[in-house]
Amino acid sequence: MLTIKEIINKQPYKITVRFSNNNIRVIDFSKLILQLPALKNPESFLKVDLDDYPTLSWKGLAQIQDYDGKLIEAPLDFCPDMLWEISSEIN
């Protein structure tokens, strides 16, 4: 299973990363942005960081329901394998 070792560059809406297999690839989120309104704001998008997994994560951009049914903030993150699939090699 892949992880992300490093964020090399970030700009709205592309992030260049180094995966755990040492390949450097660009992830273009421009098509996903349509389905993820929380990431549409360029300032929010650029707050991406690596979490403990490690994968790309945006703190507080998602919501989950706790055991009492209350909605609480949660990180928005993505499976590194999925990010690999939508990424492209740097030319």
List phi, psi (to 5°) of 49. -150, 175
80 preceded by a cis bond (ω within 30 of 0): no
pLDDT band at 11 (very low <50, low <70, confident <90, very high): very high
- Strand 56-65 to 49-50 pairing: antiparallel
| Model pLDDT for residues 12-45, shown as the tens digit of each residue | 999 999 999 999 999 999 988 888 888 999 999 9
Domains delineated in the chain: 4-89 (3.30.2020)
pLDDT at 38: 86
pLDDT given for residue 1 in this prediction? 87
Instruction: Tell me what the mean pLDDT of segment 47-62 comes to.
Output: 96
Q: What is the DSSP string of 25-54?
A: EEEE-TTGGGT-GGG-SHHHHTT-EE-SSS
What is the average pLDDT value for the chain, to the nearest integer? 94
The reply to whether the predicted model has a pTM over 0.75 is: yes
Please count the helices (runs of H) and the strands (runs of E) in the chain: 2, 7
